[in-house]
Amino acid sequence: MSGSIATFARLLDDSAEVLKPFIESSRRGGLHWNGSEYASATQDRTADPYALAWWSTLRTIAALVASQPGLTAEQIEYLQRELFGGMGSWNDFSLDAKRWGKKAESANDHLGRIRHELYSCFQTLRPVAPSKT
């Protein structure tokens, strides 16, 4: 796996990691993992369905990309559309600050920085040449 592919996969994983606090549901009084231990939830919390969908998509793309030595032209076209296209793409996603408050604002800022790096890295990826058999 080339360095830029590895960096691209890591940035996708970094993005998914930022989404983690927004994808967990809990019931008041139930136990949930707070990052270091199981703690009692103080309130009901429902996962953000869009964050959950993107977390799953980003983790899947990262795993698939990391397992390859390079990307085909078709894969690059798909990633361009899925990650950096218009409405509905990863580039268009943001957490709802009305629902999540400052936690979302901070995460959105962090995601913006990662997306900038991700796009720069994506620009360095070149399709692998088809094998001649």
pLDDT tens digits, 99-132 = 999 999 999 999 999 999 999 999 999 877 665 6
pLDDT given for residue 41 in this prediction: 54
Residues 58 and 114 sit within 8 Å (Cβ to Cβ):
no
Residues 129 and 22 sit within 8 Å (Cβ to Cβ):
no
Residues 127 and 13 sit within 8 Å (Cβ to Cβ):
no
DSSP state of 32: E
pLDDT tens digits, 24-81 = 876 655 655 556 666 665 555 688 999 999 999 999 999 999 999 889 999 999 999 9
pLDDT at 86 over 80: yes
Domain that holds residue 10: 3-122
pLDDT at 85 over 70: yes
What value, to the nearest 5°, has the Cα angle with vertex 76 and ends 75 and 77?
90
Total number of domains in the chain: 1
Q: Is residue 20 part of a domain?
A: yes
Residues 38 and 32 sit within 8 Å (Cβ to Cβ):
yes
What value, to the nearest 5°, has the Cα angle with vertex 50 and ends 74 and 119?
40
- Rounded Cα distance between 70 and 5, Å, is 7
Q: Is residue 99 part of a domain?
A: yes
Q: Is residue 45 part of a domain?
A: yes
